A and B are shown apart, each in its own frame.
Chain A
Amino acid sequence: DIQMTQSPSSVSASVGDRVTITCRASQGISGWLAWYQQKPGKAPKSLIYAASTLQSGVPSRFSGSGSETNFSLTISSLQSEDFATYYCQQTLTYPRTFGGGTKVVIK
């Protein structure tokens, strides 16, 4: 199975900050990576697929990059509604493994 490792597990930031979350795959997955945002008590929401393609309706302050084993999600200017937990997921093969999550909290 492909293991997905996210870092950091938690990040403290202020509104307006630039935040970057990284995700590492245990083997090359080309660009087959998705990112999700989850708020407490809610289902995850798709943000990005194929490493860098924004889902319809997702604000442009979110961006994704990377390939093979190293990926990142960047929020260019953090907004209050962005405080949440973020997950990466490889979509190359089954099982569709997720990273452990990164919680973005208010500083």
Chain B
Amino acid sequence: GAVVSQHPSRVICKSGTSVKIECRSLDFQATTMFWYRQFPKKSLMLMATSNEGSKATYEQGVEKDKFLINHASLTLSTLTVTSAHPEDSSFYICSAHGLAGAGLDTQYFGPGTRLTVL
């Protein structure tokens, strides 16, 4: 149980285009999802916290107009990287927080999406 999927697993795009990444909790509902970014040989950095039906909360230094987050349902959150540039190339990882009452009081992570912007 507690499986989180991401799609696509890797994407290559041209500079200036937008890329959408989907994060789904497959077998549990998640009122809160998180988006992280990870550069090579570095630790995960939290970008934003997303709550179902409300606006995401972004970490300091993360541009909300560049990284659009939508959390439309209890099982789906999307991250759109708008007008992507080479410096946005990174490994993007989402997580979904389970319900404490179901014994899932922690974050479960997706497999990650590797974005390469040419």
The answer to whether A binds B is: no
The residues of A with any CB-CB pair to B shorter than 8 Å are none
